[in-house]
């Protein structure tokens, strides 16, 4: 279970997050929506332990981030907004690279299975030869190597075709159901959020936050 208790974050004089709280259970898919600069990516980085809140506390499975951030990082999967892969390597080489350094061991056949599940079969193709949609899938697949309990996705479908978007959405739904992964997902596309997520948290400027059921939006 994730608990976020009254966290605040400011850059220079500007409050990006102010007194924000939320909870989420394993198996849930939570969407984060809001305008540009509202603080979605900042919140995601704080949840991924890549940035510290100025105030407030975060707990994952009852353990605070402050004391256990290194332990938490082993159970977190983070899909950054930028495509965080090595462009000069092939799809499978990228998977092998991060699998070797990951806390969870994976064989080559397991890595291929993972790629197949996400419908990315071009193992031997160099990343710089892939389409935007394929790169996004690889970006997601690498984040799943360590079998995360908690998956954070920062606009994982930005700039890709509808087919790839639907495939990624379906894959995430299966992941939440089958592996009970807690997924937090940001996007600008409300239709996509409604299709994929169970709950939606609206992050507005001036500390406006709303926690809604996705069905309610429909």
Instruction: Check: CB of residue 75 under 8 Å from CB of residue 65.
Output: no
x/- contact string, 55-74, with another protein (CB under 8 A)?
----------xx--xx--xx
Tokens of 44: 């995601």
Q: Which residue has the tokens 């983070």?
A: 78
Phi/psi region, residue 166 (left: phi>0; alpha: psi -120 to 50; beta: rest), is alpha
Nearer to another protein, 85 or 175 (CB): 85
Which lies closer to another protein via its Cβ, residue 42 or residue 146?
146
Distance (Å, whole) CA 169 – CA 166: 5
- Give the binding-site size for another protein (rule: CB under 8 A): 34
Does residue 2 interact with another protein by CB under 8 A? no
Q: Which residues face 77 on adjacent strands?
A: 151
Please tell me the distance from the alpha carbon of residue 121 to that of residue 91, in angstroms, as a whole number: 9
Q: Is 107 in the site for another protein (CB under 8 A)?
A: no
209 lines the binding site for another protein (CB under 8 A): no
Nearer to another protein, 69 or 209 (CB): 69
- Contact residues: another protein, CB under 8 A: 46, 48-52, 65-66, 69-70, 73-74, 76-78, 80, 82-86, 88-89, 93, 96-98, 100-103, 142-143, 146
């Amino acid at each position: 279970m994730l608990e976020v208790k009254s966290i605040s974050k400011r850059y220079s004089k500007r409050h990006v997050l102010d007194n924000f709280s939320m909870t989420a259970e394993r198996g849930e898919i939570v969407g984060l929506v809001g305008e540009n600069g509202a603080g979605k990516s900042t919140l995601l980085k704080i949840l991924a332990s890549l940035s510290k809140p100025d105030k407030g506390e975060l707990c994952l499975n009852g353990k605070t981030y402050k004391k256990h951030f290194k332990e938490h990082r082993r159970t977190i999967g983070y899909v950054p907004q930028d495509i965080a892969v090595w462009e000069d390597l092939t799809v499978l080489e990228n998977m092998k690279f991060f699998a070797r350094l990951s806390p969870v061991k994976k064989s080559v056949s397991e890595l291929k299975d993972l790629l197949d599940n996400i419908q990315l079969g071009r193992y031997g193709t160099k990343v710089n030869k892939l389409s935007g949609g394929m790169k996004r899938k690889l970006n997601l697949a690498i984040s799943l190597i360590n079998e995360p309990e908690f998956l954070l996705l920062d606009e994982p479908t930005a700039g890709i075709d509808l087919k790839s978007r639907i495939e990624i959405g379906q894959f995430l739904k299966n992941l939440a159901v089958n592996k009970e992964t807690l997924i937090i997902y940001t996007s600008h596309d409300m239709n996509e959020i409604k299709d994929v997520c169970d709950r939606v948290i609206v992050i507005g400027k001036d500390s406006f936050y709303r926690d809604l059921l996705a069905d309610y939006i429909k």
